[in-house]
Structure 1
Amino acid sequence: MKALDDLKRSLAWRLFPWTNLQLELGPGCTVVLRNRGDFLILREIFIEGEYDPFIAKIGPVANWLDLGCNCGMFSLLMESTARKNGWAAPRQAVLIDANAEALSAARDAIAISKPETKLELVEAAVGPRGVATIDFYEGKTSHKSRLTSLGSRGKKVTRPVADLDKLAAKLGEQIDLVKIDIEGAEAILLEHWGDWLAAKAKHLLIEWHEPEQPGLELKAKLEKLGFAFVDASSEKGQGEIALSAHIGTALFSRA
């Protein structure tokens, strides 16, 4: 982590929007770094291990839906974990993101990694049911992309809205894990697809963002849908206290 912090203060950091680096992190897990944002995701997932405690609580899974997959690092972490811990095959996942550059990096990383899990990529945004397309704003780095305007820091594009019914059908009747990192669109997901999540998902691993979706409000919504709070992590700490932070990650399981 210190090496990445030193890098961010260096002249070389300014060049990273034009890099195309490959970093092998183990069997079935080679990540592709295209811009500065990818390095921040690398630190979050593989160095700081943000998701590791949650994955340990969930245990082996046969399938997952990765909403907001960005450059694919979460699903490659899942593949690496599956191999290390001997999770049963076959395994399958659908990865969804609306940022074309991020999906390109994910596609390259998957091709190089040759995962045992079948990973399918879909270019789409999470949005309301019954809507064909939606405005999406892409930042200068792929992790700064969202449904709400970024002002002068981003460009507006039009993206198809994900039909979660059709995409989830690829995974079967039940989805072991839905991972959600959609930069403030959590409220839209719960408003339009909440009942669908309750019917389909065993576990939700979700990142919340204020002001669009406060953490404590997220907990109340998901409990009404039949999910039980398991744990959360943020700058405020672990457990329910973490939900009072403006951003963080929480695990819920179907009660």
Structure 2
Amino acid sequence: MTHGPEIGRQVPFVTTKYLHREADPNGMSTLAALRREVGELATDIHRARSKYGTEDALRLAGWSLAYHVGMSVHPLVSRKLKTVPITSNNTSMQVAFRRNQSDIYILREVFLEGIYDFPYSEHVPKVRTIVDLGANIGLAALSLAAQHPNARVLCVEPVDENVRMLEINRALNGFDIEVTKAAVDAVSGEVTLFPNEWWSSSTITPNVASAREGNPGRMEQPLALKPQPVKAITIDELSMAYGVDQIDVLKMDIEGAEANIMAGSLDWLDRVGVLIMEIHRRYVEADPIIAAMESKGFTRARHHGPCDVFVRT
């Protein structure tokens, strides 16, 4: 299978259907959206040139071009594997991803936008344990491991196809990465996963899946897959299973399930040094989450990108 079940029928060979975004103002023209793609491509190229050597910069700029052309003309939806070398934080890696919009989007976020680049060591003297909740195909884990090459990295990811990619990225590189196939939730047991071939948006939160798959302007609609049961674990259970008494860096990108977790018991936060979390504000309320973090002695740090970073006061 190389694409979602409805992609051939619902996505024409040439389309600008996916140029517009949910946050765009009403009446935003296609031309304005195209200009934005061009502007973002230019920014990606600048970042590539400023952060990487010539070969890596050209390689990443090329994949950025493929992404923006895909969003502007015809989305890439292949499951075919691509592996590229990237040197980040003076660490050489082999980075595997699928030739589709979702994986290339994550490639851009992690290695060009640097959304997980943060001076963690200024807040945690020695980063020994990193936990990645919603690890997707492992690109964030690779980036964090490159920043802290002596750290142990625990990854949690519920989507079978993503776990297989994560295992490939682990095998290609020499980092201490361990993988648990599960969803993380406030309570353990079994939950329903709503997977999607826009792989990074698979979720266990029904209202998130419904909003995305019901929107004809989002790729999730033609790429939706059948819901399936998955194991759910708590952060406490993960810590116990791996014998972890301190989480120096916790990354959380779990597509709306963060609201449920942050509304439950927060004892696990006592063992966390830095939490970098994407709060999916379009679907969940951010204020209760931020208040919960503040109640446990955290404050928000200045950071770029879609994630909030919380550090101890």
TM-score range, shorter chain: 0.7 to 0.9
Q: 2:114 aligns with which of 43, 46, 49?
A: 49
Q: 1:195 aligns with which of 245, 248, 267?
A: 267
Structure 1 match to 2:230: 159
Residue 244 (structure 2) pairs with residue 179 (structure 1)? no
Alpha-carbon shift at residue 13 of structure 1 (Å): 6.2
Alpha-carbon shift at residue 166 of structure 1 (Å): 2.9
Decide whether the 8 Å contact of 2:145 with 2:153 is kept in 1. no
Structure 2 match to 1:96: 156
SS of 2:84 mapped into structure 1: strand
When residues 13 and 29 of structure 1 are mapped into structure 2, their CA distance, relative to the original with a 3 A threshold, is farther
Structure 1 match to 2:168: 108
Structure 2 match to 1:76: 142
| Alpha-carbon distance in structure 1 between the residues aligned to 2:123 and 2:112 | 20
Cα shift readout 1:69-115 (whole Å, capped 9, x = no counterpart)? 101111101122224xxxxx4x2121001111111101001101122
| Alpha-carbon distance in structure 2 between the residues aligned to 1:71 and 1:82 | 19
Cα shift readout 1:32-70 (whole Å, capped 9, x = no counterpart)? 112321100000010111221354654641111110010
SS of 1:138 mapped into structure 2: coil
Residue 200 (structure 2) pairs with residue 143 (structure 1)? yes
Task: Calculate the TM-score normalised by the size of structure 1.
Answer: 0.81
Amino acid corresponding to residue 127 of structure 1 in structure 2 = D
Amino acid corresponding to residue 272 of structure 2 in structure 1 = A
Residue 312 (structure 2) pairs with residue 254 (structure 1)? yes
When residues 13 and 110 of structure 1 are mapped into structure 2, their CA distance, relative to the original with a 3 A threshold, is farther
Structure 1 match to 2:65: 6
Find the structure with the greater CA-based Rg.
Answer: 2
Mark the runs of 5 or more structure 1 residues left unpaired by the alignment. Answer: 84-88, 235-247
| Alpha-carbon distance in structure 1 between the residues aligned to 2:284 and 2:303 | 15
Structure 2 match to 1:239: none
Q: 2:181 aligns with which of 103, 111, 123?
A: 123
Alpha-carbon shift at residue 23 of structure 1 (Å): 1.4
Cα shift readout 1:1-24 (whole Å, capped 9, x = no counterpart)? 354453132599645422200112
Decide whether the 8 Å contact of 2:155 with 2:179 is kept in 1. yes
| Alpha-carbon distance in structure 1 between the residues aligned to 2:113 and 2:79 | 25
SS of 2:264 mapped into structure 1: helix
Task: Calculate the TM-score normalised by the size of structure 2.
Answer: 0.67
SS of 1:42 mapped into structure 2: helix
More strand by share: 1
Percent of residue pairs identical: 24
Amino acid corresponding to residue 37 of structure 1 in structure 2 = S
Decide whether the 8 Å contact of 1:187 with 1:212 is kept in 2. no
Structure 2 match to 1:226: 297
SS of 1:19 mapped into structure 2: strand
| Alpha-carbon distance in structure 1 between the residues aligned to 2:186 and 2:276 | 20
Residue 95 (structure 2) pairs with residue 31 (structure 1)? yes
Decide whether the 8 Å contact of 2:120 with 2:249 is kept in 1. no
Amino acid corresponding to residue 41 of structure 1 in structure 2 = I
Amino acid corresponding to residue 20 of structure 1 in structure 2 = L
Decide whether the 8 Å contact of 1:124 with 1:162 is kept in 2. yes
